[in-house]
Structure 1
Amino acid sequence: MGISARDLAAATPAGRDRYVDLLRVASLAVVVLGHWLMAAVTSDGQVGNLLAVVPGLQILTWALQVMPVFFFVGGFSHALAHRSRPRYAAFLRARLQRLLRPTMVFIGVWGALALVVQLLGADGGLTGVALRLVTQPLWFIGIYLAMVALTPPLLKLHGRYGWGAFGGLVAGAVLVDVLRFAVGVPYVEFLNFALVWLAVHQLGFLRADGMIRRPALLAAAGLVGAGLLVALGPYPLSMVGMPGEAVSNMAPPTLALLCHGLWLVGAVELLKGPGARLTARTRVWRTVVAANGIAMTAFLWHLTAMLGVYGALLALGVRLPAPATAAWWAQVPLRLAAAAALTALLVAVFRRCELPAPPAPATDRGAPLAALGITLSLLGVLALSMTGFAGLLEGHTATLIAVRVTAPAAVAMALAGWFLVERAGRAPGRTAGRAAGRA
């Protein structure tokens, strides 16, 4: 039986930065809400993007594209976690337990459903769309896995160079965009999946050491930089990917998105005082603790819930209004409430997968195994975010870093990687246990 949120909240150490926990929950909640709002589903089962239907709404992504905040918070948490648990294998297992287990359960459940649906020949309409869409948010998991894996070396660079390590990543992102847009070098843009997001992650290290002393300057520089790049360069207005656009700020990330991240990080740092006072309230903190305990499960299943709501409406013969019409906007609160209720139901079913595991022994004997495991996991998860589960039996492929991969191969990599990370974290403890038993 798990510890209640009330007990966890009451046991919070006095020195814990509660505002960071609030940012983690709030950023994921905004992402979930954004996905629900952007979905423009029609009566024939097609799923479009509201921002493409109403381009004027794209400016809202400058406030609502908050994934940089989550990665920034991740950098802060990873810095503290690694300093308290410096052994690589133990650090990886401790950081990944509540991430990989619910992710692998999600992949397993949806993989089995996809196989059954395709064997029955029922993968048309909205069901076929769901098989493609439900894995798309997994790109975030893949990037986050890379951040965890690279925390030890990047933390060393931070310790030696401070802001210089961050500046080096920014310079690399600038160079990539110059080579991409001015010189036309092929494939170089994919380097920014690492450089842009790791730069934001590096800001979390700086926060952990109290080195972000002028957040207003950071916010202003990011906002002005993003504005100038969009106004003068080849960068689109939207800070999320748009269907059919020649250039996306998200995939792969651009310098404009990095500037957007700077603006958001500066903005949330400016709100640190009010945020700390808010989370000092008992009821608020208890809610934050409870939400953190289910946040990853809710994130993984929120698209399933949304598409389930639309699927139920279509199955009942409800005619959906055209996206962005008055009737469509009038139904938004009801659709959001239904999606939230179904997400809550799915969380109730799968939340146990997110419970923390017992700590592993502090040893580095499994470090190579852990490194291989997290590499396979992140490649598998990233590949699956691109292939989806549609065409599972037909061998549908997608390109991951210039290599064609199938959904079964992606699933196999992800599961194998998870197994290796688990084995790396547990092997020393089990060996010790067997030795004690023989003694």
Structure 2
Amino acid sequence: MTLTARIEARTPAHRDRAVDGLRALALLAVPTGHWLLGGFTLDGDGAIHNASPLSTFGFFAPVSWVLQMLGIFFLVGGYASVLSYTRHTGSTRAWLGTRLARLGRPVLGVTAVWAVLVPVLYALGVPGDTLRTGATLVVQPLWFVGVYLVVTALTPYCVRAAGRLGAWAAAPLLGSVAVVDFLRYGPFAEAVPSWLSVLNILPGWLFAYQLGVSWGLRRIGRRQAWALLLGGAALFAALLLAFHYPASMVGVPGETRTNSHPPSLLVLALAAAQSGAAILLRDRLGRLLRRPALWAPVVVINLSAMTILCWHQTAMLAAAVPASFLGPVAGLTTAPDTLGWIVARLAWLPLFAGLLLLIGRYARGFETPWTHATAAHRSAAGLLAAGFAVYALG
């Protein structure tokens, strides 16, 4: 029996294939976005530094609208969490502990491994600036896991809010982000402290998660989904055209404003539109994924979700760091400021994907329970991870 046939045979009849398909799509958007919208430059000492094609090519901004699918990820996360939470027969603390451990193990694994890699690579002649660049890239997607842990911990409160207000439970979160954006970008912006933007982090990412919880409790139907799609799209257009929000959904080097760190109102508008579209397309996507050949990759991607998230930057660095010793290599160590770089980078994507598959074959073990790890092993991994975090963030 082929792998596709085995996966199909083991899939329960009640499995919501559309939700898994949406999660897989959002997961793949993360490495694709980082690989396409992140580049390197090579300095005189042979070290690589972060650069972005968005600094040169403004027309790349709409690409970031498509690849910024964290709204979908949080939507599906809220949907799956509420189903798991309502079916759980134990305590809320036990439910949270299981889910937090599932997210935390892969993060601990990748940071501990990199804590060992940094001194080894330095001893092998990799420049310190290259290692700093690599550490920054490895840590970059892990902020998401921290936010997702906090959001997951708030699931019981999201369930109560959705039970009382339905889809409207997400409205106060949207309003909160709008108020902070007005303060930091409005007429009194100069008098507002810079730290105020941090207040957008939790409501900004909780917004789509709350929508997912309401969806899982069947408090969002097609009418509400159409309202999310059309209202989100209208707000998105207004923010771009009338209020001059930055067009890119990710940070652009040299720009003073960013939409994603922390999330601006534009991120929530996009998340609302994406969420509405996802809910409306659910049945059609579910029918499509009844085909075993399409369903099997979705299952594999979902089973490797945290591996993809934690290790995709390492896969790109596994190609770029050796290339830096060869000098300028188009699409890898050359500045992302020409159309030729875009073509070359597209050609490198299959290599990045192949390296991620190779790394994932071994890193996948971090996602499973560490049943054979002793307390000493766990403590050592924690210390290594903490040391790498200090190095990367320092």
Amino acid at match of 2:50: V
Give me the whole-angstrom Cα distance separating, in 2, the residues matched to 1:207 and 1:294: 25
Amino acid at match of 1:21: D
Structure 1 position 49 matched with structure 2 position 52: yes
Aligned sequence identity (%): 36
Q: 2:222 aligns with which of 203, 207, 213?
A: 213
TM-score by length of 1: 0.77
Q: 2:91 aligns with which of 67, 87, 109?
A: 87
The aligned residue for residue 307 of structure 1 is 317
The answer (yes or no) to whether the contact 2:72–2:271 under 8 Å persists in 1 is: yes
Structure 1 position 127 matched with structure 2 position 126: no
Q: 1:350 aligns with which of 351, 360, 363?
A: 363
Q: Compared with structure 1, are the counterparts of its residues 121 and 89 closer, same or farther at alpha carbon in structure 2 (3 Å cutoff)?
A: farther
Higher relative contact order (CA 8 A, sep 6+): 2
Give me the whole-angstrom Cα distance separating, in 2, the residues matched to 1:35 and 1:295: 16
TM-score by length of 2: 0.85
Give me the whole-angstrom Cα distance separating, in 1, the residues matched to 2:64 and 2:229: 16
Q: Compared with structure 1, are the counterparts of its residues 308 and 199 closer, same or farther at alpha carbon in structure 2 (3 Å cutoff)?
A: same
Map 1:4-403 → 2, pairs under 5 A: 7=6, 9-44=8-43, 45-85=48-88, 87-117=91-121, 122-182=126-186, 183-184=188-189, 185-186=192-193, 187-210=195-218, 211-214=220-223, 215-317=225-327, 319-320=329-330, 321-355=334-368, 389-390=391-392, 397=394
RMSD: 2.7
The CA deviation at 1:178 is 2.4
Q: Compared with structure 1, are the counterparts of its residues 384 and 165 closer, same or farther at alpha carbon in structure 2 (3 Å cutoff)?
A: farther
Q: Deviations over 1:175-225 (max 9, x none)?
A: 222233334432222111111111111110121123232223311111110
The CA deviation at 1:318 is 5.3
Give me the whole-angstrom Cα distance separating, in 1, the residues matched to 2:139 and 2:22: 24
Q: Secondary structure at the match of 1:46?
A: strand
The answer (yes or no) to whether the contact 1:98–1:353 under 8 Å persists in 2 is: no
Q: Secondary structure at the match of 1:271?
A: helix
Give me the whole-angstrom Cα distance separating, in 2, the residues matched to 1:226 and 1:122: 44
The answer (yes or no) to whether the contact 1:135–1:388 under 8 Å persists in 2 is: no
Amino acid at match of 1:389: Y
Q: Deviations over 1:143-201 (max 9, x none)?
A: 11111111112211221222332122222222222233334432222111111111111
The CA deviation at 1:335 is 1.0
Give me the whole-angstrom Cα distance separating, in 2, the residues matched to 1:129 and 1:118: 13
Amino acid at match of 2:276: G
The CA deviation at 1:303 is 0.6
Give me the whole-angstrom Cα distance separating, in 2, the residues matched to 1:7 and 1:89: 35
Map 1:408-419 → 2, pairs under 5 A: none
The answer (yes or no) to whether the contact 2:222–2:279 under 8 Å persists in 1 is: no
Amino acid at match of 2:302: N
Q: Secondary structure at the match of 1:249?
A: coil
Amino acid at match of 2:269: C
Gaps of 5+ in 1: 359-376, 391-395, 398-439
The answer (yes or no) to whether the contact 1:132–1:388 under 8 Å persists in 2 is: no
The CA deviation at 1:353 is 1.8
Q: Secondary structure at the match of 2:139?
A: coil
Q: Compared with structure 1, are the counterparts of its residues 97 and 10 closer, same or farther at alpha carbon in structure 2 (3 Å cutoff)?
A: farther
Matched positions, count: 367
The answer (yes or no) to whether the contact 1:79–1:151 under 8 Å persists in 2 is: yes
Q: Compared with structure 1, are the counterparts of its residues 325 and 119 closer, same or farther at alpha carbon in structure 2 (3 Å cutoff)?
A: closer
The aligned residue for residue 433 of structure 1 is none
Give me the whole-angstrom Cα distance separating, in 2, the residues matched to 1:148 and 1:67: 15
Q: Compared with structure 1, are the counterparts of its residues 136 and 322 closer, same or farther at alpha carbon in structure 2 (3 Å cutoff)?
A: closer
Q: Compared with structure 1, are the counterparts of its residues 160 and 327 closer, same or farther at alpha carbon in structure 2 (3 Å cutoff)?
A: closer
Q: Deviations over 1:351-391 (max 9, x none)?
A: 12223689xxxxxxxxxxxxxxxxxx9xxx9x999x6734x
The answer (yes or no) to whether the contact 1:38–1:50 under 8 Å persists in 2 is: yes
Give me the whole-angstrom Cα distance separating, in 1, the residues matched to 2:259 and 2:324: 33
The CA deviation at 1:89 is 2.3
Q: Deviations over 1:389-432 (max 9, x none)?
A: 34xxxxx64xxxxxxxxxxxxxxxxxxxxxxxxxxxxxxxxxxx
Q: Secondary structure at the match of 1:280?
A: coil
Gaps of 5+ in 2: 372-381
Give me the whole-angstrom Cα distance separating, in 2, the residues matched to 1:310 and 1:188: 37
Amino acid at match of 1:337: P
Q: Compared with structure 1, are the counterparts of its residues 388 and 334 closer, same or farther at alpha carbon in structure 2 (3 Å cutoff)?
A: farther
The answer (yes or no) to whether the contact 2:5–2:292 under 8 Å persists in 1 is: no
